[in-house]
Every structure is written in C-alpha cells, then in structure tokens.
C-alpha cells in the first residue's frame, strides 16, 4: 500500500456519491408521483414505495456517502439498487448499462474501503 491509498475512499465517495446525488435531485425535483409513474410504467410493483426508497438512497444516501457518514451501509443500498436497475430495466430492454455497472463497482469498492480518513465519521470519532 502506498501513502495515497487511504485517500482512495475520498475520491470514490465523491464520484459515486456525486452521480447518485445528481440523479436523486432530479427525481426529487420531478416528485414522487413522476418517479412512481416511471416505475409503474416499466412494470415495477409497489411503485410509490420504491420511488420513495430510490429518492432516499439517491439524495440522503448520496449526501452521506459524500460526507463519509455510514458509507458502507449506503454503498450496499446503492449496489443493490444498481443490480436491480441492470436486471429489471437495462437487460430486458437491451439497454446500455455502462453507467450502472460503474456505479455498482464503485459502490462495492466503497463497501470494501469504508469511510476513509477524510470523512465526517472519522472526524467525529477522533473528537469524542
């Protein structure tokens, strides 16, 4: 391990969290009914419930990942979301899933790396 390795989590958190946050803010802006309508149109059950879950993961979860708060927990949620998107939306419609694949890989990397030294969680641990 070189001296920069501990900071890899920081850059991965910014990248993965940033992309999720942009998508989450768009869903938040359009609203739960529009997101639920999209999920319903593609045949997803319990569309309203899952719309709320998606918006939560992609906004609250993304903000937490960027800051380094409960990174592993939110990264697991993001990885599961990407698997569902790939299997339920992209593959059946023969869509490209490069972005989703990269986000999945990034989320799994964050599960492995955790918060990293440049995170709010580490700062809170050291101050108490």
Other C-beta atoms lying within 10 Å of the C-beta of residue 54: 24
Supply 119's token pair: 């995170």
pTM: 0.91
Report the C-alpha gap between 127 and 80 in whole angstroms: 33
Percent of the chain scored above 70 by pLDDT? Answer: 94
User: Does residue 118 surpass a pLDDT of 90?
Assistant: no
DSSP H stretches of helix in 1-128: 8-30, 32-41, 47-56, 62-67, 71-85, 98-113, 120-127
Among 47-51, 62-66, 90-94, where is mean pLDDT lowest? 90-94
Q: In which residue are the tokens 């940033």 written?
A: 18
User: Does residue 49 surpass a pLDDT of 90?
Assistant: yes
What residue ranges do the domains of the chain occupy? 5-127
Q: Which residue has the higher pLDDT, 89 or 26?
A: 26
Report the C-alpha gap between 70 and 125 in whole angstroms: 13
Taking alpha carbons only, the member of 122, 102, 104 closest to residue 6 is: 122
């Amino acid at each position: 391990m070189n001296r920069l390795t501990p900071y890899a989590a920081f850059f991965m958190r910014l990248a993965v969290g940033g992309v999720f946050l942009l998508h989450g803010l768009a869903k938040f802006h359009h609203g739960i009914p529009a997101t639920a309508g999209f999920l319903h149109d593609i045949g997803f059950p319990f569309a309203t419930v899952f719309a709320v879950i998606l918006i939560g993961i992609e906004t609250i979860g993304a903000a937490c990942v960027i800051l380094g708060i409960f990174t592993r927990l939110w990264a697991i949620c993001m990885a599961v979301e990407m698997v569902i998107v790939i299997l339920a939306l992209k593959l059946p419609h023969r869509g490209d899933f490069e972005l989703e694949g990269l986000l999945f890989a990034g989320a799994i990397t964050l599960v492995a790396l955790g918060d990293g030294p440049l995170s709010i969680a580490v700062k809170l641990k050291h101050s108490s």
